[in-house]
Chains A and B, each alone.
Chain A
Amino acid sequence: MMMTRRRVLALAAGAAALPVLQLLPTSAFASVEETQKMIDDFAGGQELQSGKLTLTAPEIAENGNTVPITVEVESAMEGDDLVQSVMILAEDNPRPEVATFNFTAMSGTAAATTRMRLAKTQNVVALAKMADGTVYMDKKEVKVTIGGCGG
């Protein structure tokens, strides 16, 4: 599976001009390779499948410091048809890890919403691990705009 670093949107150009984002990194940004390694570790050799897992995120985030994301996996959430966990990664943040949701049969459905930080326009990746070991992936590009007003 190949991931290409997406072209940074023209909207976000001039990012260096104003310290708009709070999330100014002191270290280098995470690499696509680093993200790939985390995906491989999570998948444990399983082939990544698509379908079943849906990651919902705004196409354009009004502020990268607070971006709502929702993951949902089609599953009966009982017996063998159970989602164990969903990991969220961000390719171009200072670190790729965002969060890992752990579900149980008591969850009823494998769905969760949270709010995350995105340092710039990038892909957000979600991976779901089922009880039988299969792994699903979904990915969305979120464009992070640079506001005009830092106040």
Chain B
Amino acid sequence: MSAPLPPTLLDFFRAARGAGLRVSTAEGLDAVRAAEVVGFDDRATLRDALSLVLAKTPEEKRQFEECFALFFGRDGFREAAAAPADAPAPTPPGRAEGAGGIGGDGMGGGAAPSPLGRMLLEGDRAGLAAAMEEAAEAVGLSSISVFTQVNMYARRIMERMGLKALEDEIAALRRDPAGAERAARLDLARDYLRGEVRELVQRNLLLFARGETERWREEMLRQARLAGLDRRDAERMRVLVRAMARRLATRYARVRRRDRRGHLDARRTLRRNMAWGGVPFRTVWKQRKVEKPRLFVLCDVSGSVAAVAQFLLLFIYSLHEALSGVRAFAFTSGTIEVSEILEREPIEQAIAQIMGRIGFGSSNYGTSLEDFEKGWMQAVDRRTTVIVLGDGRGNRTEPRVDILQRLAGRAKQVIWLNPEHPASWGTGDSDMPRYAPHCRVVAQCATLRQLERVISDMLRNHAG
């Protein structure tokens, strides 16, 4: 139990952070204590124990298991690394004759056999693996951060293990006709070793550099245009949107309970304390009610706006803790309510269904607004925030600005989000400048970061 830990736990924490776990210092200390208590002998128990301390959600548990397997799998790798050595045809005979051959070569060739060459030909797996790990540590392999460094680290490790001496030996053997066969065997073994070292480096890259790469990717995604997203990135983006929404939701759910103390509510205090003869044991304070925003979301789902609509809806529906009620509407040339679909189905399928029902037509803002006024204008009240998402391009149809004006009059505020750059508002068939005066906020919303900012502002205005 008191034996030194083969790979240190500290390295493991770094790898775990790289895999996306948040390992605080306190948790790290706990993990060390837990590991000391259960010991390092039984891997499954160690995994259970560390998982209890380090991973705090089912998602984190999964990441943890993956990282643990990768990290502590290194011992298994030693055997695996040596095992294929038997597979290439020339090596087994090499090993068999190696012991006898060395003496003969030593006498005949005169080239001093390098330690690395001897280990390779003798098939000394443990020695090779130890030398490799040692060299890896010496060159600081665990600080590898991008994949372009793989070749450099592999070369450095090989050099550290004595590649130079090995090359010299091979060169010397080549010159000697008696050593040709041995030179060929060493050549093969060297190539094999190179492969193994590369594998080790790749594995470390996976372990330690993933965090960096992930963070970098996320940063890029936040700024990427929502409309032109890769299908592959879309899933990652959804995860990101949910995380953002959760952060906002917890922040604003708290603000809402802020104003608890203030003036004494004399009437209710007296009433509450009737049981004690009116002696005020329990005080009741006047509470200012901070209301959660009610939200109506109108999304243009035609053409390029649709991609952004998907993320806006996902964002809004991940926020439900901070909102008191959300109704969503989709329109192209007419408006339908889609709240029910969104509540029933997971977001991806819901979006697909909505698109199936009205998507991909050419948009007509006038008729869509008329539909909305007929069907749902009554439901808009002073507590309602209306978010309109659209490029304001009605294909030269009547924009019906008057309806938006009436809407703005009824609602607490109207926020218009436009995925286009402000410079192109008003060009061509864009009616944006005519809608804009009736909206409290008009903002561009082409990237996730812009989306987050707008929604965060909205929640703050409500809370303040």
Whether both chains belong to one complex is answered with: no
Point out residues on A near B: beta carbons under 8 Å.
none
